[in-house]
A = this chain, B = another copy of it.
């Protein structure tokens, strides 16, 4: 049997591509193996199992998303930065419908790369909020609010939860605009 020459990285990368094509929930070791041209159990030489694969995919996707959020906000501030980051966020979810859900997995404390990626994403948001003068507890609250709004919107959109004909892009822009207003007049707690 000629060797295909896989390693963990190639396996995870192909899993990401496959997930984007068929959906995160339909990402299966069987499909991945056949896509890579090996028998299913061969994958276990590179990943510890289905759950570990999802975990590694989470790292990959979180890192990508963090990078795109950071890049979008660079050189901007205030509402400009917020809009750019929010657009980058939703854009990523659109371009990578299979990877995006993976990013919601809570970072594995045993995986430094995962921790780092998660921190980069949060720090990108923190940096934007600093432009609104939000720090400390206020920044934590505002970060949670922003993550909730963006994640919620993107998730509902992907699930087909927005039934009415009203344009979805516009709704998103309104949501971001309303967050901008909120951050300007955030109820300060002095944290």
Instruction: Spell out A's residues near B (CB within 8 Å).
Output: 104-107, 137, 140-142, 144-145, 147-153, 155-156, 159-164, 166, 168, 170-171, 174-175, 177-179, 181-183, 185-187, 189, 191
Q: Which 6 A-B pairs have the closest CB atoms?
A: A152-B152, A148-B152, A178-B182, A148-B153, A140-B166, A141-B174
Is B159's CB under 8 angstroms from A141's CB? Answer: no
Is B161's CB under 8 angstroms from A104's CB? Answer: yes
Report how many copies the assembly holds.
2
How far is B171's CA from A189's CA once the two chains are assembled, in angstroms?
A: 11
Q: Which residues on the B side are within 8 Å of A166 (C-beta)? A: 137, 140-141, 191
Is A144's CB under 8 angstroms from B175's CB? Answer: yes
**A158 CB to nearest B CB, Å:** 10
Residue of B nearest to A175 (CB): B145
**A123 CB to nearest B CB, Å:** 12
Q: Which of B105, B152, B181, B187 is the one whose CB lies under 8 Å from A182? A: B181
Is A156's CB under 8 angstroms from B144's CB? Answer: yes
Is B161's CB under 8 angstroms from A156's CB? Answer: no
Q: Which residues on the B side are within 8 Å of A177 (C-beta)? A: 187
Q: Which of B104, B144, B189 is the one whose CB lies under 8 Å from A153? A: B144
Contacts A106-B159, A182-B182, A187-B174 given; does A147 touch B152 at CB 8 Å:
yes
Q: Which of B141, B153, B161, B170 is the one whose CB lies under 8 Å from A171? A: B141
**What would 28 A/B residue contacts be, using CB atoms closer than 8 Å?**
A104-B155, A104-B159, A104-B161, A106-B163, A137-B166, A137-B170, A140-B164, A144-B156, A144-B162, A144-B168, A145-B171, A145-B174, A145-B175, A147-B156, A147-B161, A148-B149, A148-B156, A148-B175, A149-B152, A152-B152, A152-B153, A155-B155, A166-B191, A174-B186, A178-B183, A179-B182, A181-B182, A181-B185
